[in-house]
Structure 1
Amino acid sequence: METLERFKNYHPKNYLHIDRKIFIGNMYTPTHNKTIRRRAFELIQDKEYVQKHAFLPFIHYSIDLKKYTFIEGHNNKTLKVLKTSSNEFNQGQYKYIKPKKREIYYASHFDSYIYKYYGELLNMYYNDFAIKYNIDECSIAYRDNKKGKNNIHFSKEVFEFILKQKNALIIALDFSSFFDNISHDELKKSLKQLLNVGELPADIYNVFKSITKFRYLEKEDLDRYLLSIKNEKDIDIDNLIQEKQIKNYMSMHTFRNLIKSNQLKVYPETIKTFGIPQGSGVSSVCSNIRLIKFDIEMNEWTKKLNGLYRRYCDDLIWIIPDVDEHQMDQIKNEIYEKISRYKDLKLQKEKTILLSYSDRKMTTLEGQSSKLDYLGFVFDGNSIKIREKSLFKYYNRAYRKTRVLAKKHHVYNRNAYMKSLYGLYTHLGMNYKGYGNFISYSYKAEKIMKALPVDVQIRQQVKRHWYKVNKRLKDNKEMYGQNLKN
């Protein structure tokens, strides 16, 4: 059994669940068996315990995301032309918000430790398997043996391969609702293949069962319960957690009673044969395991064409060199046909990107100038930039932070939390909390991409970030100051 030192990166999360937050080195008594009392890191390593462990339901909620999309017939290029030709240009006339929901599931505190541990365990098996079957370089998401590498390195590799070709066909596509559609039977087969066993070990099977037959509670129902017991119409739950006034939604005894009396509903009512929750610590490696046969097949097929195949979770790309125009449809259809054999892989063909590269130019198959948008970087054959959407998100978050700080400045008459603004959103946070920020990431990307024989414009894109952030902070301070006077 491994010592506590092995689990030094297992940290408790600050959210409410049925169980209480627990530190990995603390003593723990399972909710379903009061006779057991051992330290958490010991229990998650005990195979006999894990195979009998009763996992609590996940908690679920949805996040509404705003996705800005161009109206038909417009893109960034047409908007630039309109902007320079009219003084009354309004970008909102050419874009609309496409609603998008992200489903969030999170496990109980103790269960999350089990998922994390078994995720790491399965990753060890996966890494060995991937190396043995030559897919270690193909599957690049959720890998723990790619130390020091990130999307900068992965995208650079793809761009470098393209630049080495005289001409090439580029095919990029993604699977629709990948995690929601994963077949439980196929995942189980892949796990057996990975572990080289006829039947899954009892502990791994129990973990597998907990994410394939997973149940969940609605966060909205649990929040409503808190309101009812506190006789309040509205409660800032995050504030209560920060002030340590509440440590969990309810006791295990109360939870069981509410379920028995149908006062708290557990979903879904019928168990599905497909789909796993994206939020658990074991789900990401399971998504790679599900596709081991697929990756082997695709990589071998692509190698025969002297091409490059890469998969980042559900985003896939092929670079096939020396393809004449008569072969392009044939290659695309062959990829479609191979994917169609995997019944749980849903493909949106209309979203497939087909590009042609030749003489340092990226074009559509119809010959129009185009760009490859890959892992946050945009490459047109001659230059590399950060995706405009990433810049938009960065400035949007930075400006939102300036509004909060400007308001606090006038309420409390002090420059509250200025350090966090500059740490998160400027070059002063190059090593913010040991990780850095968007600006440090951009600088690093510029440095790494400079090794390629192209015009790298990344640093130029963020050159004025200091001026923009400070100007917005100043404007917001003046606005709140004026509002207070009025």
Structure 2
Amino acid sequence: MLDSTKLDSTKLDSTKYKTKNYLHFDYRVKIENVESYVTDHSKIGNHSFLPLIRYVSSFEKRIEEKNPEFDNRPIKTKDRVIMYAGHMDNFIYKYYAEVLNKDFYNKFCMEKGIDDCVSAYRNNKVGKSNIDFAAEIINQMVNYKEAYILVGDFTNYFDKINHELLKKHLAEVLNQPRLSKDWFNVFRSITKYGYYEKSFLNEEYGSDESIKRSNKKSYFENISKFREFQKNNKTLCNKNKFGIPQGSAISAVFANIYASEFDLKLKEIADEFSGIYRRYSDDFILVIPKSDIVNEQKIRRIETDTRRVASEYKIELHKDKTGLYLYENDKIFDIISNEVSHLDYLGFVFDGTTVKMRGKSPYKFYRNAKKLITFAQKVKVKKELTDLPYKKKIYGLCTDLGKNYNNHGNFISYAKRAQKKFDEISPNTNNLIMNQLKNRKKKIEKMLGYKIHTKI
């Protein structure tokens, strides 16, 4: 193992450290101007991290039944708490996350035989995404011919991470008897984090838009002004012995490390019965081929063992999202309800024969398209325009013309990529991903009220 006090083993790639445009308590900085500070472990050991800024992101989620609160539409709202760090702190978290992943966690996973098991937030899985991981699992399942499947979900994972256990696992991965000063400072800033509510800051100083319009680059003129504000407005703190913020650049790597013992135990179970185990963030799956020694009674015992392991390492499994299935005769059976069912994994649904995207994915695409087009049409009427505004955005997000939109593409290009990947990786399943979007041009044209004169 490497000496974690020598951080120069991972050379900082400045192209990955973009200066971001959000407002915080400090000014925006360029990585070139602070690189020597960010990579100096003695400086970080004494660094004073700024409080985070917290806000709640609400989004609509599709459900099976109609919801009277939303005009009987099959949706509900889901809240996600997001916290983000100051500009300098963000660079520190990003760099330490990169070092932790590349120099320590990746090596730890390879040495322990779980490198293929953990797929999210890994910097040695470049070019792979949830599509690849879902296709690989489904293809393996089909190759087994008959298999038992245990899927699970960690409940409120980031909010439930036990600090003492995280500290222990972090020290093990870093190969340190106790955390060095810089690593402890980073660890403490993420576990005993301070924060202010974004809504409170906006009430005090105006909206972010109005502050930016006045050419201000921060909520405060300088750090001294912020410290004055701090004296009069006490920083809110996480006083619990559990929970880390979602949104910081290092939180996801810490979350992976926290589950390392769980991963090792589940990998042992998979190996014992010639199966496979995979975890993507807080979603995990265990697939074990059916055999003389692995029957329904045995898989139920394995499920009990999995719950025990989760409890031992202070991970709570979501009751409603933990399922036990049998893949047999080109069908998926729910063992608990004893009914024909399907496997829902990483955004894809497998019924034993066909693979599709979750139904809510195309639904969300069309709903967002409708919302954007309706907004543009209202602006056109209000401003008495002759042409529809926001065409570039509409075509970029809602049609095949947006394959390179914002350098990432859009939902259609995602679906095309998924179709191609599944056809390559899982050739023995009937992959109907693009079928779910086959009438997209007509549907978008109907929303627009005119034909798009280009072949898409």
Q: Verify same fold: TM over 0.5.
A: yes
In the TM superposition, 1:52-63 aligns within 5 A as 52-63=46-57
Residue of structure 1 equivalent to 2:40: 46
Summarize the Cα distance change of 1:92–1:414 in structure 2 as closer, same or farther, 3 Å threshold.
closer
CA contact (8 A) 2:131 2:418 kept: yes
SS at match of 2:236: coil
Alpha-carbon deviation of 1:92? Answer: 7.4
CA contact (8 A) 2:400 2:412 kept: yes
CA distance in structure 2 between the partners assigned to 1:356 and 1:390 by the alignment: 25
CA distance in structure 1 between the partners assigned to 2:46 and 2:364 by the alignment: 45
Residue of structure 1 equivalent to 2:5: none
- The residue type paired with residue 465 of structure 1 is R
Q: Which runs of 5+ in 2 are unaligned?
A: 1-7, 451-456
CA distance in structure 1 between the partners assigned to 2:190 and 2:47 by the alignment: 13
Residue of structure 2 equivalent to 1:33: none
Summarize the Cα distance change of 1:175–1:161 in structure 2 as closer, same or farther, 3 Å threshold.
same
Q: Could you tell me which of 257, 265, 273 is aligned with 2:234?
A: 265
CA distance in structure 2 between the partners assigned to 1:168 and 1:456 by the alignment: 20
Residue of structure 2 equivalent to 1:349: 319
CA distance in structure 2 between the partners assigned to 1:110 and 1:237 by the alignment: 19
CA distance in structure 2 between the partners assigned to 1:42 and 1:414 by the alignment: 52
TM-score (norm 2): 0.89
- The answer to whether 1:372 aligns with 2:343 is yes
Decide which moves more: 199-208 or 91-100: 91-100
- The answer to whether 1:146 aligns with 2:125 is yes
Residue of structure 2 equivalent to 1:479: none
Alpha-carbon deviation of 1:207? Answer: 0.8
Two-structure CA RMSD over aligned residues (Å): 2.3
Q: Could you tell me which of 324, 332, 348 is aligned with 1:362?
A: 332
Alpha-carbon deviation of 1:63? Answer: 2.0
- The answer to whether 1:246 aligns with 2:216 is yes
Deviations 1:158-206 (A, max 9, x none): 0011101131111111111111111111111111111111121211111
- The residue type paired with residue 353 of structure 1 is G
CA contact (8 A) 2:261 2:313 kept: no
CA distance in structure 1 between the partners assigned to 2:163 and 2:196 by the alignment: 21
- The answer to whether 1:255 aligns with 2:249 is no
CA distance in structure 2 between the partners assigned to 1:430 and 1:299 by the alignment: 38
Residue of structure 1 equivalent to 2:416: 443
Summarize the Cα distance change of 1:437–1:93 in structure 2 as closer, same or farther, 3 Å threshold.
closer
Summarize the Cα distance change of 1:94–1:328 in structure 2 as closer, same or farther, 3 Å threshold.
farther
Deviations 1:436-483 (A, max 9, x none): 1111111111112123212111111111212212221228xxxxxxxx
Alpha-carbon deviation of 1:99? Answer: 4.0
For this pair of structures, how many residues does the alignment match? 433
Residue of structure 2 equivalent to 1:65: 59
Deviations 1:100-140 (A, max 9, x none): 22101010111101111111010111111111111111001
Residue of structure 2 equivalent to 1:285: 253
Summarize the Cα distance change of 1:8–1:441 in structure 2 as closer, same or farther, 3 Å threshold.
same
In the TM superposition, 1:99-110 aligns within 5 A as 99-110=77-88
- The answer to whether 1:396 aligns with 2:370 is no
- The answer to whether 1:429 aligns with 2:402 is yes
SS at match of 2:339: coil
SS at match of 2:22: coil
Q: Which runs of 5+ in 1 are unaligned?
A: 26-38, 76-89, 228-235, 476-486
CA distance in structure 2 between the partners assigned to 1:468 and 1:462 by the alignment: 10
CA contact (8 A) 1:70 1:95 kept: no
- The residue type paired with residue 187 of structure 2 is F
Summarize the Cα distance change of 1:11–1:272 in structure 2 as closer, same or farther, 3 Å threshold.
same
Residue of structure 2 equivalent to 1:191: 170
Q: Between the two proteins, what is the percent identity of the paired residues?
A: 38
State which structure, 1 or 2, has the greater radius of gyration over its C-alpha atoms.
Answer: 1
- The answer to whether 1:468 aligns with 2:416 is no
TM-score (norm 1): 0.84
Residue of structure 2 equivalent to 1:114: 92
Residue of structure 2 equivalent to 1:19: 26
Decide which moves more: 318-327 or 107-116: 318-327
Alpha-carbon deviation of 1:47? Answer: 1.2
Residue of structure 2 equivalent to 1:83: none
Alpha-carbon deviation of 1:271? Answer: 2.1
